[in-house]
Each structure stands twice: as structure tokens, then as C-alpha cells.
Amino acid sequence: MQQFAEVIQPVDSPPPSRPIEWPGPIAATLISIGAGWLSGVLLPLGPTTAAHGIALMLGGAATGALAGLGMRSRWAMLLAPAAYLVALEAARGTDGVPSVGELRLDSSYGVLAFLLGRVIPAGLAVMPMVLAADWGSDHIRRGCQGRPPSRMIAPTVILGVVAGLLAWPASTPALAGTDGRPLPGAVAELVRVRLGGHDQWIQVRGASRELPILLYLSGGPGQSDLAYSRVLLDGLTQDFLVVGWDQRGAGKSYPALDPATLTLDRAVADAVELAEFLRDRYDQDQVVLMGESWGSLLGVLAVQRAPQLFRAFVGSGQMVSVLETDLRIYHDLLDAAQRTGSTELAARLWESGPPPYADPLDYAFVMAHYPLLEGSYLPPAAYRQRGERSGIGPMGILGQEYGAVEKVNVLRGLLDMFSVLYPQLQGVDLRRDAPRLEVPVIVLEGSNELAARVEPAREWFDALDAPRKELHALPDSGHSVAFEQADELRRILLAELARSQP
């Protein structure tokens, strides 16, 4: 009886307690922290190339699998990503660029920066991490036997599609003739160029390698115009080798963004190096240089530094003094807000005060209200139709010039490069800094351009000492006058070429 009583336990007594197995969760946490720290150190800006994106996915899958195998529990699907993301944020050096800097969700631009710099990059690592953690824990529970459960099939297929999209190469369409067939001997290429120790990208398009080179400098700073310039300057490719350039930190050249070394002087040096590269590559003596907005400022400084490289300079939406223009725009917007009774806009402007701003999102807010000052005008039908038929989407991100990661870079490059370089432009005034240029100068002025830009540009132009200078005030156009009046631009450029023939 005594032996029987020792065996029989009361019905309501708890089962013997099982000790918690801590080594598994601890190992999973350390592995995830290590992976996050490594990502933050090696990729502080997140994945900037397709190779980075695929490596992030593979690393996330490996981290998740090890965490799941170690914990033997589906809780690894939560623990691994959480530990990874905390370590990532702690390790990365942000340098204050908006996409990975201080979290700002108080404006649409702050939300966009959060999505581009954190949500999308984190998703590339976390999605495969969660799936692999589920597989690892299930693999242990099944005794390392059997097929993966059916719930993993759809996510695995989706991740495979994402990886395929990341690996899909960028390209530029062949230059076609009037019959729609590729032109024999035409140039249509994306070229990686080493400038200032960093890889940067250009797009070159023209009916022949022997055509004069037209190097276009896009605005911003940080704007990528490869797709836009391909579509809107297509009419120039019969007469020029049209070169679009993603400056360091913009679009395809976003991986070259280094906030510590990106200076105005370096940007000018890059432009000069690129002109030298183009001369050598296409065996020509000089380059026609055209800049829009920020590109027009950069172009003047490049011509001033190395005039022997350039046949002529064309400024579209010419900038002269960034600080003076910004101050004028601020006061013009404040007047417009008070005149129209827009108390909310007026209050926001009073709150931020006049530029310069330490917060780049303050500039974004002001720029979003430029239409209040531009008035109503209708750009030429040809310009509108080219854009509508192109299919390149907003900011050109659907252009085939960009791979999947580069499409994200088009948007975050404008935020990040702008925040680094724009404050450095506050002391530039071409009226003082570039009173003389040793090449012919052409300035294009849109009829609906802001007075805050027109007046300083005309003051600089009127006083400019140059071998030859022309100012063309073109109708039905605003700040992007070279694009809006591309047909007139072609006529002006051909006339300049005829005058400058030896």
C-alpha cells in the first residue's frame, strides 16, 4: 500500500516543473544583435545597390534560421527582428541625413524619409528573417524531418520575386530612327565613371559618337534626371551626344554619398573631371555645358575653373545667389499668405522664420508652396505630351535607367544630398564670385519664372564679362525652361554651334 501511495498523485496537483532552457534564446538574441550591428556599420545608409539588397536578404535569412534553430520556438520570429533593428539603429552613423537621421513624422517629407531610409531597407532584412525563423523552429519541432509547412510557400515565392526584381539590371533604350528601329552607329549607354574616388553614373545618347557633346547638369542638389533628360531632350540626340549625369549622392550615384567629403568644391571638381573624361572617351576637344537650377550654379563654377574644357555654357533657371533667392521667396510667400488670408501658411512661415534653415525639411515646406508664386500657365503641348507618353512616372522613378534599389535612391538622394550640400551654397553669389567667364554664355529665362530668381540672374548677366552672351526670355515656361522649350533650345544650341565653328 505504501508503494502504491507513492505512485498515485492527487488529481489536482501540478505537473513537475520544467526548467527554462535559456541558452537558445540568449544565443538567438546575440546572433540577431550581431547581425544588426554589422548591418549598421557596413551599410549605415541601408542598401544602396542591388548587391547590398540581396546580401541583406541573405543575411536576414541566415540570422532568422539560426535564431529559430536555437530557440526551437516560433517566438524567434519576433525576437530576432526586434533585436536586429535595435542593434541596427544603435550602430549606424547617420551623419544627420534625413533618410536615416532623426525620426520625423510631423510632415509628409519626414514620413517619406522614414519609409525610404528605414521601412524599405528593414523590410528587405526582416521579411526573410521572419520566414527563416519560422522554418528553423519548425525544423527542430519536426525532429529535422519532413517538408516545410505549406504556410511558408507563398512568402517564399514573394521573397524570390523581390530578389529577382533587385537583380534585374538597369538599361537605357536603344536610340531609334523614324521607322522605330535602332539607329546603326548610335550611342545609347549607361556608363560608370570614377570621379573624385567615387563611382558615379552617366547616360550618353546620340545618333553618332562624332556629334558635339552636350553635358547636362541636373538641379537639386540631389535630383536625378536621367529618365527625364532622355525623354525631354530626345530631340537633341540627332545633333548632340546628350550626357545626363547622376552627381554623387543622386539616383544611380547615391552610393557615392559621403557627407564628410561632399563639398561644393568637390562637386565642381567632379564636373571638371567628367568633362575631361568625356573629351577623352569621345575624342573631342570641348564640351557644351548646360545646367538647370542648382546645375546652372555648378556649371558656372566649373566653367570658371576650367574654361578650356567648354565650348559654351547654357544656364536654364539660372541661380545666382541661393540665400538671396530663398529670402525673397520667403517674404513673397508671406505676402501671398497674408493677401489671400491663408493664416495657417502665414503662421507656419512666422514659426520657421526666414532662411537659412538648419532643418532641411523647412526648405521642403517652402518649396511645396512655390506654385502660389508661379501663377497659372500652360507649358507647350509638345512638352506635356512627351511626359505623358513616356511612362517614366513621378520623378522618373519608373525609367528603366534605374534598378529597383536605384528607384528608391532617386527619392532619398534628393532628400539626403540636398541636406548635405544645400547649406554649403548659402555663401555663393555669382555677381561677386563669377563676374567673368571665358566662354560664350547663354541664359534661358522662363516667362513664369519666380522674380526671386529672375532679378539676381539678370543683374549677374548684365554685368558679366564674357566673349559673347545671350539672354533668351521664352514664353510658356517656368523654372524648367530648357525642358519646357526643348525645341527652342535646339534652335539656340545649333545657332551657337554655327557661330563657334573654327
Q: Is residue 373 located within the same domain as residue 262?
A: yes
Alpha carbon distance 472, 57 (integer Å): 52
- Rounded CA-CA distance 310/442 in Å is 13
Q: Are residues 288 and 424 in the same domain?
A: yes
My answer on whether 254 and 400 are in the same domain is yes
Closest CA to 406 of 253, 243, 231, 204: 253
> How many percent of the chain have pLDDT more than 90?
67
Stretch (H or E) spanning 116: none
Q: Give the pairing of strands 198-206 and 213-217.
A: unpaired
Indicate if the pLDDT at residue 20 is higher than 60: no
311 or 26: which carries more pLDDT confidence?
A: 311
pLDDT given for residue 11 in this prediction: 43
CA-nearest of 391, 356, 409 to 247 is 409
Q: Is 244 part of a structural domain of the chain?
A: yes
Q: Encode burial over 332-371: b for 16+ CB neighbours within 10 A, e otherwise.
A: bbeebbeeeebeebbebbeebeebebeebbbbbbbeebee
In this predicted structure, the answer to whether residue 146 has a pLDDT above a threshold of 60 is no
Q: Is residue 200 part of a domain?
A: yes
The residues that bridge with 316 in the sheet, in sequence order, are 292, 444
Does one domain contain both 304 and 209? Answer: yes
243 and 200 within one domain: yes
Q: Which of 167, 201, 216 is where one domain is finished?
A: 167
Query: Among the listed ranges 147-161, 302-316, 475-489, which one has the minimum average pLDDT value?
Result: 147-161
Among 132, 167, 202, where does a domain finish? 167
The DSSP output letter for 44 is: T
CA distance 204 to 213: 9
Q: CB of 67 within 8 A of CB of 32?
A: yes
Rounded to an integer, the average pLDDT of 451-467 is: 96
Judge if 255 and 193 occupy the same domain: yes
Q: What is 340-351 written as a DSSP string?
A: HT-HHHHHHHHH
Residues 193 and 161 in one domain: no
pLDDT of residue 142: 60
Is residue 298 within 8 Å of residue 219, measured between CB atoms?
A: no
Measured CA to CA in angstroms, residue 90 lies from 31, 36, 52, 80, 309 at distances of 15, 9, 20, 16, 47
Mean of per-residue pLDDT scores for the chain: 89
Residues 308, 193, single domain; the answer is: yes
Amino acid at 493: L
Cβ neighbour number for residue 486 with a 10 Å cutoff: 19
Residue 92 domain-assigned? yes
Assess whether 109 and 219 both reside in one domain.
no
* Residues 47, 168: Cα–Cα separation, whole Å: 15
Final residue before a domain boundary, out of 136, 167, 198: 167
Q: Is the pLDDT of residue 29 over 60?
A: yes
Residue 41 lies in a domain: yes
Neighbouring residues of 501: CB distance < 8 A, sequence distance ≥ 6: none
Q: Kindly write down the DSSP assignment for every residue of 249-293, as one continuous string.
A: TSGGGGGG--TTT--HHHHHHHHHHHHHHHHHHTT-S-EEEEEET
Instruction: Report strand pairing: 287-292 vs 241-246.
Output: unpaired
* Residue 237 within any structural domain of the chain: yes
pLDDT of residue 94: 56
Residue 30: band (very low, low, confident or very high) from pLDDT cuts 50, 70, 90 = very high
* Claim to verify: residue 100 and residue 135 sit in the same structural domain: yes
- Are 130 and 207 in the same domain? no
> Is 225 inside any structural domain?
yes
205-225: average pLDDT: 95
- Number of folded domains in the chain? 2
Q: Contact 407/212 with Cβ under 8 angstroms?
A: no
- For residues 136-154, average pLDDT: 66
Residue 469 DSSP symbol: E
Other Cβ atoms closer than 10 A to 420? 24
- For 365-373, the CB contacts below 8 A with 24+ separation are 365/107, 365/109, 366/326, 366/329, 366/330, 366/333, 369/333, 369/345, 370/329, 370/450, 372/333, 372/336, 372/337, 372/340, 373/329, 373/332, 373/333, 373/336, 373/450, 373/452
Claim to verify: residue 154 and residue 26 sit in the same structural domain: yes
Q: How confident is the model at residue 501 (pLDDT cuts 50, 70, 90)?
A: confident
3-state SS class at 399: coil
Residue 495 — very low, low, confident or very high, per pLDDT cuts 50/70/90?
very high
Residue 390's pLDDT is: 86
Q: Is residue 318 part of a domain?
A: yes
DSSP state of 436: B
Domain that holds residue 97: 21-167
Q: Is the pLDDT of residue 9 over 50?
A: no
Whole-model pTM: value is 0.90
Least confident piece of the model among 62-71, 122-131, 142-151: 142-151
Confidence bin at 3 (pLDDT 50/70/90)? very low
> pLDDT tier at 148 (50, 70, 90 boundaries)?
low
Least confident piece of the model among 19-23, 232-236, 373-377, 395-399: 19-23
Q: Is the pLDDT of residue 95 over 70?
A: no
- What is the arithmetic mean of pLDDT over 363-389? 85
In a domain, 349, yes or no: no
- In this model, does residue 1 exceed pLDDT 80? no
In the prediction, which pLDDT does 172 show? 94
DSSP string across 234-258: GGGTTTSEEEEEE-TTSGGGGGG--
Whether residue 187 is predicted with pLDDT greater than 90 in this model: the reply is: yes
Residue 441 has a pLDDT of 97
CATH code of the domain in which 365 resides: 3.40.50.1820
Task: Average the pLDDT over 205-211 and give the result.
Answer: 95
Instruction: Please check the confidence at residue 8 and state whether its pLDDT lies above 60.
Output: no
